[in-house]
Structure 1
Amino acid sequence: MGRVTTPTHDQVLRAPKVLLHDHLDGGLRPQTVLELAADCGHPLPADDADSLGRWFAEAADSGSLVRYLETFDHTVAVMQTAAALSRVARECVEDLAADGVVYAEVRYAPEQHVGGGLTLDEVVGAVQEGFDAGVAAAGGSIVVRQLLTAMRHQARSMEIAELAVAWRDRGVAGFDIAGAEAGYPPTRHLDAFEYLQRENFHFTIHAGEAFGLPSIWQALQWCGADRLGHGVRIVDDITVDDDGNAKLGRLAAYVRDKRIPLEMCPASNVQTGAVTSIAEHPIGLLTRLRFRVTVNTDNRLMSGTSMTDEMCSLVEAFGYGLEDLRWFTINAMKSSFLPFDERLEIIDGVVKPGYAALLGEA
């Protein structure tokens, strides 16, 4: 990628960033969780923002999937009213804009937010109201879209797919399925994916995070996913010899040749045990082999992370320069679910000029 200009933390913060894989219920501010929990009478494991933030990080970092998932019980519990959803959505956009994110697709499962009596439609409306308010507060420096997620262990995927299509011109850019991969293959939701394809609609599938190549193969070859959520286990289909030469298996070659975007979330993958460290994360190999790699946060609260943190960790682990970060960012913008002309507008009007200015400082 030419000369390597090692960026400072401040430069990474100021660099325009694009985020494709971020969970709304995984990115709340600890103070907001406290206040919303007080409003609805939900008990929490800590009673001040600093302690609560530490609890979330420690529980997510414990190596126990049970404790990791427990963190979401608390965030989802306080997101059951329209006012709470709008507030969380608005603060999400404000936090991303402050982190230099210029385009984001934020996902959540509407079916998890109807416990307080809201309809699925009202849930999406409340989130959109919050996103609109956040974009206005950020002075229009960020573009945000919703991705509606269905839970793979439930049976509401067709309903959520129809909901996503109903909102397609009002802020929803795509569909997703999430949840435990093992035992819940994406093919269980084939009717939803076939419906989305008939509607010319975009979708991504969580695949190849905890579970291996069969999950990725099904997501692509049976379900027709546009992107892979995580996709980190595609590395299982790549053999590297002692000289560093890589040989791609059929599936890995297909993913690379077709430019199928990988929504990689390094900090989260370390927490869930998908990889042992950032330095050993397959993102290094996949980037060298020129897969369509993108960098993402997954759950900012649980991982105590941000796009700036994710990129800085890659700079430290792999010696990446501003040119590399620009490549990740353009990859992500190319892979977004925005219309092509709008993608191009952000690449040419925001991302490239932003990086050109930073490179001019070097």
Structure 2
Amino acid sequence: MASAPLDLESIRQAPKVLLHDHLDGGLRPDTVLELAEQTGYRGLPAHDAAGLGVWFRDAADSGSLVKYLETFEHTVGVMQTPEALARVAQECAEDLADDGVVYAEVRFAPELHIERGLSLDEVMEAVLDGFASGESAARTAGRPIVVRCLVTAMRHAARSREIAELTVRWRDRGAVGFDIAGAEAGFPPSRHLDAFEYMRNASAPFTIHAGEAFGLPSIHEAIAFCGADRLGHGVRIIDDITLPAGVSADSDDLSGAVLGPIAARVRDARIPLELCPSSNVQTGAVPSLEKHPFNMLARLRFRVTVNTDNRLMSDTTMSREMLKLVETFGFTWTDLQRFTINAMKSSFLHFDERLAIIDDVIKPGYAVLLG
């Protein structure tokens, strides 16, 4: 039996695992419009769904993480009521399931959604209720998905310890981990050591946005000082990898590559890299998809994972991200299965739950596609 063609529709049928996706970066354009009208939000840059979708994508194509983050003013602006938060979370789960995602960790920053008087706990309740509703709808539609929440603190603010406590308070109700996000330059992860120490003391996992805009020092701090379980993006790990003279990242033989101490630690400890190809190009973390280190890191056996980051801003899905990697680097179904299992192994679910999804969903799903 021949393997399935490696096209967008076949990839949509493949079971996928998503570790790095922002709730406020994945709204449907028409939902943004409807919520703006319902909540009285003013200032949208376009007033039809197609035009708004184009605006988000074009505005995010800035080559700057800071400018990229400015687009979130509008999505966060319409996510200030329990009803809006629950709707966005439910639609997120449904959209991911429709794309073949079987497990997702979706992150958001509760501190950004309290402008109209909601408490942090009320924000959490609304979002987790929305995820549960989305899971139920997806199950009814025959595309089951498990969605869990990563609770994010903003690295430029001073609420990270409070947000870490919030994460632990809700961990038995769907919050599986903690994160810090936002502009990297000037806001090193070590500013939030108190939050990370709290998470470790509570035996709770966390990931850190690092090595996207600032470079290798950000990765070093995230690992050496903060103890990150995963790295959000981490593309600048390539700054600690030296190739022999005359050998490029796309060369057939990378056996002469020399890993510096940070890169060696990341690979040896199997610290997962939450790579987001389209987003990494948009923010200027890498110059182009062709120059993205994903292929080199995969071939050097780092634990690479495929992610969307912000589906609205990048006009993307997990299937599109995988297809781009296939078309750019020639990856096969076997490669996509490896990246998917990498992600499931790296999730913050308990071990038995991870293993069940790998053995009962991912491997059988890819067996059909591999023929």
TM-score w.r.t. the length of structure 2 is: 0.94
| 1:62, distance to aligned residue in structure 2 (A) | 3.2
Distance in 2 of aligned mates of 1:78 and 1:285 = 40
Q: Does 1:209 align with 2:220?
A: no
Q: Does 1:246 align with 2:249?
A: no
Asked if structure 2 preserves the Cα contact closer than 8 Å seen for 1:6 and 1:321, the reply is: no
Distance in 1 of aligned mates of 2:351 and 2:214 = 32
Tell me the alpha carbon deviations over residues 282-341 of structure 1, each in whole angstroms, 9 at most, x when there is no partner.
011000000000000000000001000000000000000100000000000000000000
- With over 3 angstroms needed to count, the CA separation of the structure-2 counterparts of 1:195 and 1:66, relative to structure 1, is closer
Q: How does 1:45-194 map to 2 (within 5 A)?
A: 45-63=45-63, 65=65, 67-139=67-139, 141-194=144-197
| 1:113, distance to aligned residue in structure 2 (A) | 0.2
| 1:9, distance to aligned residue in structure 2 (A) | 1.6
Letter in 1 for 2:190: T
Letter in 1 for 2:364: P
- Structure-1 residue corresponding to 2:308: 297
Asked if structure 2 preserves the Cα contact closer than 8 Å seen for 1:6 and 1:320, the reply is: no
Asked if structure 1 preserves the Cα contact closer than 8 Å seen for 2:274 and 2:304, the reply is: yes
Counterpart secondary structure, 2:352: helix
Asked if structure 1 preserves the Cα contact closer than 8 Å seen for 2:107 and 2:150, the reply is: yes
Q: How does 1:22-61 map to 2 (within 5 A)?
A: 22-43=21-42, 44-61=44-61
Q: How does 1:276-355 map to 2 (within 5 A)?
A: 276-355=287-366
Counterpart secondary structure, 1:205: strand
Tell me the alpha carbon deviations over residues 72-95 of structure 1, each in whole angstroms, 9 at most, x when there is no partner.
000000000000000000000000
- With over 3 angstroms needed to count, the CA separation of the structure-2 counterparts of 1:66 and 1:220, relative to structure 1, is closer
Match of 1:265 among 276, 279, 285: 276
Counterpart secondary structure, 1:138: helix
Letter in 2 for 1:195: Y
Asked if structure 1 preserves the Cα contact closer than 8 Å seen for 2:64 and 2:282, the reply is: no
Counterpart secondary structure, 2:258: strand
| 1:280, distance to aligned residue in structure 2 (A) | 1.0
Query: Where does the alignment leave 5 or more consecutive residues of structure 1 unmatched?
Result: none
Asked if structure 2 preserves the Cα contact closer than 8 Å seen for 1:5 and 1:321, the reply is: no
Counterpart secondary structure, 2:150: strand
Counterpart secondary structure, 2:71: helix
- With over 3 angstroms needed to count, the CA separation of the structure-2 counterparts of 1:66 and 1:218, relative to structure 1, is closer
| 1:279, distance to aligned residue in structure 2 (A) | 1.4
- With over 3 angstroms needed to count, the CA separation of the structure-2 counterparts of 1:234 and 1:64, relative to structure 1, is closer
Counterpart secondary structure, 1:297: coil
Distance in 2 of aligned mates of 1:176 and 1:62 = 24
Letter in 1 for 2:233: H
Distance in 2 of aligned mates of 1:199 and 1:62 = 39
Letter in 2 for 1:59: A
C-alpha RMSD of the superposition: 1.4
Counterpart secondary structure, 2:227: coil
Distance in 2 of aligned mates of 1:219 and 1:67 = 23
| 1:66, distance to aligned residue in structure 2 (A) | 5.4
- With over 3 angstroms needed to count, the CA separation of the structure-2 counterparts of 1:49 and 1:210, relative to structure 1, is same
Work out the percentage of aligned pairs sharing the same amino acid: 69
| 1:70, distance to aligned residue in structure 2 (A) | 2.7
Counterpart secondary structure, 1:204: strand
Q: Does 1:231 align with 2:229?
A: no
TM-score w.r.t. the length of structure 1 is: 0.97
Asked if structure 1 preserves the Cα contact closer than 8 Å seen for 2:65 and 2:213, the reply is: no
| 1:69, distance to aligned residue in structure 2 (A) | 2.5
| 1:5, distance to aligned residue in structure 2 (A) | 7.8
Distance in 2 of aligned mates of 1:263 and 1:165 = 22
| 1:68, distance to aligned residue in structure 2 (A) | 2.4
Asked if structure 1 preserves the Cα contact closer than 8 Å seen for 2:4 and 2:10, the reply is: no
- With over 3 angstroms needed to count, the CA separation of the structure-2 counterparts of 1:345 and 1:108, relative to structure 1, is same
- Which deviates more from structure 2 when the two are superposed, residues 326-335 or residues 8-17? 8-17
Asked if structure 2 preserves the Cα contact closer than 8 Å seen for 1:322 and 1:359, the reply is: yes
Distance in 2 of aligned mates of 1:267 and 1:34 = 25
What is the total number of aligned residue pairs between the two structures? 358
Query: Where does the alignment leave 5 or more consecutive residues of structure 2 unmatched?
Result: 248-253
Letter in 2 for 1:208: G
Distance in 1 of aligned mates of 2:28 and 2:96 = 12
* Moved >3 Å (runs of 4+): 3-6, 62-67
Counterpart secondary structure, 2:187: coil
